[in-house]
């Protein structure tokens, strides 16, 4: 049964959401901060989830900064409410509020108490009346976005099996080489791995896991060699390649096959013949001597494999493999023990606690504030003059010859860089901090390579700062068919010109969700005794989307559970995983130092949603009663630029001060949104 305090929280969240659902300027800006004895609680702009008959479903994000703790805690609240509609007056009156659930990662009782206390402070009896037309307009946008989210692809990639240690060298199409400055070497630009052609010896060199491999052709066959020419070895260092941080436990003499691919391909290798192991209380077997999630059902023998959060099935290893909707998986998968060797796959099995928690985390944002007077210009570089291509199903277009995400909407240019929105009158800037973005941006379909930017939102702005936030969708984690998946499933076309810009890949790098850390990771490795042997190096911008790269350490299957728990408990390793705002030296914690301005400008009917749909900004009805006492702290109204940009110069001299960052439940970390290596001709034959 719901406690009185939790009910108060939900009533508050509902009031916040309701205050944002109609067509007039709100009486309070977002985010809204409340002081409690336990710390500060910030409520971010609420969103509509659904509305039909006399029921309304909404949710809101919150951030909690507890006293004496260095990091904020981010969470979300879901609720549904009974309403009464008056068609003649075009109003919706809220009659009753009911909680669905609240998600604050870590289940911290102090954080929970702080949020409840803030709710008691902020909410005092209000007559909540909404604008019916505003609700219906928001619902229409919501349904369109839900249809777009359903367009995520699930066709099976190519799947290769090996019964010995192997690593895949992934190219995006035929290998393409680019000359290295001040050298006769040529480097492959359409792979995240370090592959270099030495024309003198007509040999291709690959480095990984502290080893060198050589081949007469970019497609192999690669054989291990003792070393590489001095110029090639030096290039590996200057290009950013790094060997494993701890010595690999693989015997240096153990043969490793390098498998090459030019289309999205997943490699599944076993250490010898497949070793099947039963799962207690099920009719399932799993392959124990592989890091892949490969199962065999006993009742009607079929293989099932989990790839990028999607299930595929086949009668034989050589296929054909077909996508299996999560709700059509055999019931035995729900009975996999959570603490067993294969408990991690429960994130991808609907109805399990792991899947429920992962879905809840998909609505928890990471937020930050950017100073409108001191900020960095986004690194927008085009290959020649800016080239724009229409976005299917919309009146928008996006820049194709850059690694940045630049959208042209109604004659204005919007750039999203590391989860901060910028706006300009020219494709080349200068860029200003955006205080609003058009609602159309949140209808970008998954077929567009910059789809992830629709998960970056402007929560509001206050004195001198704009509040931004992003959901895991920005990092490639999407809600699809009731579970989390990685990537849209589309194979995007890269830009190939004088410069090569890579687009995000869904398959090819063993993307898997680690429920211990709540993040997606990628394997480029093999390990035969618990150590790490990473086979990749150098910059990998673009391959892993705008959220960046998060390497997952290779684990010996026999020690997988121990290693996973070790990673989860290892603060040093987790500390190496950075979020988008950690790459901004002009961003700081999202919780405002002062309460935002009253009647501050808001986004242009924008939304804050994950994949279930991102509704427009919800605004307050004009006849809502006045705020409670907490609102008396608000600053006086302030005029704002009408063009949606902060009134700042925004040239290269506005380089920002460093501040503290938000530290929410991020997914992935590392690189940016696009590779920017020079690309010339295909390799010589």
pLDDT tens across 639-656, in order? 222 333 332 223 333 222
Whether the predicted pLDDT of 53 surpasses 60: yes
Comparing C-alpha atoms, which of 29, 656, 96 is closest to residue 378? 656
Residue ranges with strand state E in 112-236: 129-131, 158-162, 166-170, 177-179, 186-188, 194-198, 203-208, 211-215, 223-225
Between residues 97 and 389, the one the model is more confident about? 389
Instruction: Determine phi and psi for 171, rounding to 5 degrees.
Output: -110, 155
Q: Which residues contact residue 224 at a Cβ distance below 8 angstroms, ignoring those fewer than 6 apart?
A: 211, 212, 213, 255, 256
Whether the predicted pLDDT of 162 surpasses 70: yes
Whether the predicted pLDDT of 229 surpasses 50: yes
Alpha-helix residue ranges (DSSP H) falling in 558-648? 560-569, 571-575
3-state SS assignment for residue 638: coil
Across 275-295, average pLDDT = 94
CA atoms within 13 A on the CB side of 424: 17
pLDDT, position 251: 63
Comparing C-alpha atoms, which of 12, 16, 81 is closest to residue 45? 16
pLDDT, position 119: 67
Of the candidate ranges 123-137, 493-507, 542-556, 635-649, the one whose mean pLDDT is the lowest: 635-649
Across 318-343, average pLDDT = 94
Task: Report how far apart, in Å, the C-alpha atoms of 418 and of each of 263, 376, 397, 405, 617 are.
Answer: 28, 11, 20, 10, 22
pLDDT, position 156: 96
175-201 residue pLDDT tens:
999 999 999 999 999 988 899 999 999
pLDDT, position 465: 87
Quote the pTM value.
0.74
Of the candidate ranges 111-120, 248-257, 307-316, 645-654, the one whose mean pLDDT is the lowest: 645-654
Q: Which of 63-72, 202-211, 221-230, 653-662 has the highest mean pLDDT?
A: 221-230
pLDDT, position 48: 78
CA atoms within 13 A on the CB side of 144: 18
User: CA torsion 512→494→181→184, rounded to 10°?
Assistant: 90
Q: Which residues contact residue 291 at a Cβ distance below 8 angstroms, ignoring those fewer than 6 apart?
A: 510, 523, 554, 555, 557, 560
Q: Report the phi/psi class of residue 169: left, alpha or beta, with left for phi > 0 and alpha for psi in -120 to 50.
A: beta
């Amino acid at each position: 049964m719901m406690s009185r305090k939790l009910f108060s929280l939900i009533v508050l969240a509902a009031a916040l959401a309701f205050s944002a659902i109609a067509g007039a300027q709100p009486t309070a800006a977002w985010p809204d901060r409340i002081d409690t004895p336990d710390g500060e609680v910030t409520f971010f702009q609420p969103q509509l989830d659904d509305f039909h008959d006399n029921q309304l479903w909404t949710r809101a994000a919150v951030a909690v900064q507890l006293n004496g703790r260095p990091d904020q805690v981010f969470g979300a609240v879901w609720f549904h409410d009974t309403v009464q509609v008056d068609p003649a007056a075009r109003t919706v009156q809220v009659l009753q509020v009911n909680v669905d659930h609240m998600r604050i990662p870590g289940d911290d009782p102090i954080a929970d108490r702080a949020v409840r206390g803030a709710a008691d402070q902020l909410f005092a009896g209000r007559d909540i009346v909404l604008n019916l037309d505003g609700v219906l307009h928001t619902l229409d946008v919501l349904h369109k976005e839900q249809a777009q989210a359903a367009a995520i692809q699930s066709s099976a990639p190519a799947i290769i099996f090996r019964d010995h240690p192997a690593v895949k060298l992934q190219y995006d199409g035929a290998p393409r080489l680019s000359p290295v400055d001040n050298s006769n070497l040529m480097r492959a630009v359409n792979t995240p791995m370090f592959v270099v052609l030495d024309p003198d010896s007509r040999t291709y060199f690959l480095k990984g896991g502290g080893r060198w491999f050589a081949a007469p052709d970019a497609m192999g066959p690669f054989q291990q060699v003792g070393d590489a020419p001095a110029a090639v070895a030096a290039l590996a260092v200057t290009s950013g390649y790094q060997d494993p941080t701890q010595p690999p436990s693989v015997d240096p003499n153990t043969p490793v096959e390098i498998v090459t691919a030019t289309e999205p391909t997943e490699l599944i290798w076993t250490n010898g013949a497949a070793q099947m192991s039963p799962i207690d209380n099920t009719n399932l077997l799993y392959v124990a001597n592989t890091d892949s999630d490969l199962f065999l059902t006993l009742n009607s023998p079929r293989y099932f494999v989990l790839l990028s959060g999607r299930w595929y099935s086949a009668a034989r290893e050589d296929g054909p493999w077909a996508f299996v909707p999560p709700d059509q998986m055999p019931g035995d998968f729900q009975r996999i023990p959570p603490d067993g060797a294969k408990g991690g796959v429960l994130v991808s099995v609907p109805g399990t606690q792991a899947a429920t928690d992962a879905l809840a985390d998909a609505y928890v944002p990471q937020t930050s504030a950017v100073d409108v007077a001191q900020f960095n210009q986004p690194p927008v570089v085009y290959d020649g003059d800016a080239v724009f291509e229409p976005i299917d199903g919309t009146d928008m277009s996006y820049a194709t010859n850059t690694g940045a995400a630049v959208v042209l909407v109604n004659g204005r240019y919007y750039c999203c860089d590391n989860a901060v929105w910028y706006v300009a009158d020219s494709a080349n800037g200068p860029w200003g901090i955006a205080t609003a973005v058009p609602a159309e941006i949140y209808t970008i379909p998954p077929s567009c390579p910059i789809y992830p930017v629709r998960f970056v939102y402007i929560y509001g702005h206050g004195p001198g700062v704009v509040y931004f936030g992003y959901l895991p969708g920005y990092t490639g984690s999407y809600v699809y068919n009731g579970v989390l998946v990685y990537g849209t499933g589309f194979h995007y076309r890269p830009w190939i010109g004088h410069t090569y810009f890579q687009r995000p890949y869904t398959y090819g790098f063993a993307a898997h969700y680690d429920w211990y850390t709540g993040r997606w990771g990628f394997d480029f490795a093999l390990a035969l005794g618990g150590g790490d042997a990473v086979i990749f190096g150098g910059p990998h911008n673009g391959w892993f989307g705008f959220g960046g790269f998060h390497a997952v350490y290779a684990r010996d299957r026999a020690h997988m559970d121990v290693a996973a728990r070790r990673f989860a408990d290892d603060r040093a390793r987790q500390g190496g995983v950075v979020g988008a705002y950690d790459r901004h030296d002009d961003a700081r914690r999202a919780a405002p130092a002062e309460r935002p301005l009253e009647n501050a400008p808001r986004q242009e009917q924008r939304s804050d949603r994950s994949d279930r749909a991102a509704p427009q900004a919800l605004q307050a009805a004009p006849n809502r009663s006045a705020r409670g006492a907490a609102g008396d702290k608000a600053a006086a109204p302030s005029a704002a630029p009408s063009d949606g940009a902060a009134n700042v110069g925004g040239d290269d001299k506005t380089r920002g001060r460093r501040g503290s960052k938000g530290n929410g439940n991020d997914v992935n970390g590392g690189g940016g949104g696009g590779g920017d290596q020079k690309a010339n001709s295909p390799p010589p034959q």
